[in-house]
Amino acid sequence: MNFDFSDDQKQLRDQARKFLAEKCPPKAVRAVLEGKAAYDRELWKGLAEMGFLGVAIPEGYGGAGAGHLELCVIAEEMGRALAPVPFSSTVYLAAEALLLAGSDGQKKQWLPKIAAGEAIGTLALFEGKGNPSPQGVKLAASGGMLNGVKKPVPDGAIADFAIVAARTGSSGRETDVSLFLVDMKGGGVEAKVLTNLDPSREQAELTFRNCKAEPLGPASEGWSILTRVLDRAAVLTAFEQVGGADRALEMGRDYALDRIAFGRPIGSFQAVKHMLADMYVAATLARSNCYYGAWALSTNASELPEAAAAARISATQAFHHCAKNNIQVHGGMGFTWEFDCHLYYRRAGALALSLGSQSYWEDALIDCMRKKNAA
Partner 1 sequence: MNFDDTPQEAAFREQARAWIAANAPKQYEEELRKASLGRTQLKGANVLDVAKAWQKKKADSGWACLHWPKEYGGRGASPIERVIWQQEEGAFGKLSAMFIIGHGMCGPTMMAFAAEDQKRKYLPPLASGEKIWCQLFSEPAGGSDVAGLRTRAERQGDDWIVNGQKIWTSGAHYSDYGILLTRTDPTVPKHKGLTMFFLDMKSKGVEIKPIKQANGQSEFNEVYFTDVKIPDSQRLGAVNDGWNVALTTLMNERMSIGAGVATGFPELFEFCSGLMLDDGPALDDRNVRARLANWAVKASGLKHTSFRAISALSRGERPGPENSIGKLVAGSMIQEIAMYALDLEGAAGVLSGPEAELAGKFQAMLLRAPGTRVEGGTDEIMRNIIAERVLGLPGDVRVDKDVPFNQVPTKGRA
Q: Please give the residue ranges that form the binding site for partner 1 (CB under 8 A).
A: 1-6, 69, 249, 253, 256-257, 264-265, 267-268, 270, 272-274, 276-278, 280-281, 284-286, 288-289, 291-292, 294-295, 298, 309-310, 313-314, 317, 359, 361-363, 365-366, 369-370, 373
Question: Three-class SS of residue 66?
Answer: coil
Beta strand 161-167 pairing with 121-124: parallel
CB of 283 to partner 1, least distance (A): 10
φ and ψ at residue 320, rounded to 5 degrees:
-60, -45
Strand, coil or helix: what is 202? coil
Min dist. Cβ of residue 306 to partner 1 (A): 9
Nearer to partner 1, 70 or 155 (CB): 70
In whole angstroms, the minimum distance from the beta carbon of 317 to partner 1 comes to: 7
CB of 56 to partner 1, least distance (A): 15
If the CB atoms of residues 222 and 267 are measured against partner 1, the closer one turns out to be: 267
Residue 323 Cβ, how far from partner 1 at the closest point, in Å? 17
Residue 280 or 339 with smaller CB distance to partner 1:
280
Backbone angles phi, psi at 205, to 5 degrees: -110, 130
The least distance separating partner 1 from the CB of residue 240, rounded to whole angstroms, comes to 17
Alpha carbon distances (Å) from 165 to 156, 161, 221: 14, 13, 11
- For partner 1, the closer of residues 209 and 370 by Cβ is 370
Distance CA 196, CA 203 (A): 7
Q: Pick between residue 72 and residue 111 the one whose CB is nearest to partner 1.
A: 72
Enclosing H/E stretch for 147: strand 145-154
Q: How many residues does the structure list for the chain?
A: 375
156 φ/ψ angles, rounded to the nearest 5 degrees: -60, -30
Pairwise CA distance, residues 62 & 15, whole Å:
21
Nearer Cβ to partner 1, position 57 or 310? 310
Q: Are 235 and 190 in contact (CB under 8 A)?
A: no
Angle at 15 between CA 9 and CA 19, to 5 degrees: 145
CB of 82 to partner 1, least distance (A): 22
In the complex with partner 1, the residue whose CB is nearer, 165 or 308, is 308
For partner 1, which is the closer residue by CB, 11 or 210?
A: 11
Closest distance between partner 1 and the C-beta of residue 194, in Å?
28
Cα separation, 74 vs 180, in Å, equals 28
Task: For residue 152, say if its preceding peptide bond is cis, omega within 30 degrees of 0.
Answer: yes
Contact indicator for 224, 335 with CB cutoff of 8 Å: no
Q: How far is the CB of 355 from partner 1 (least distance, A)?
A: 16
Distance CA 92, CA 111 (A): 12
Closest CA to 344 of 274, 246, 202: 246
Q: Which residues pair with 178 in a beta bridge?
A: 166
Cβ neighbourhood burial of 123 (10 Å; 0-12, 13-18, 19+): buried
In degrees, rounded to 5, the angle at the alpha carbon of residue 79 between the alpha carbons of residues 75 and 83 is 100
Q: Which is nearer to partner 1, 122 or 314 (CB)?
A: 314
Min CB(313)–partner 1 separation in Å: 5
Nearer to partner 1, 201 or 253 (CB): 253
The residue type of 174 is: E
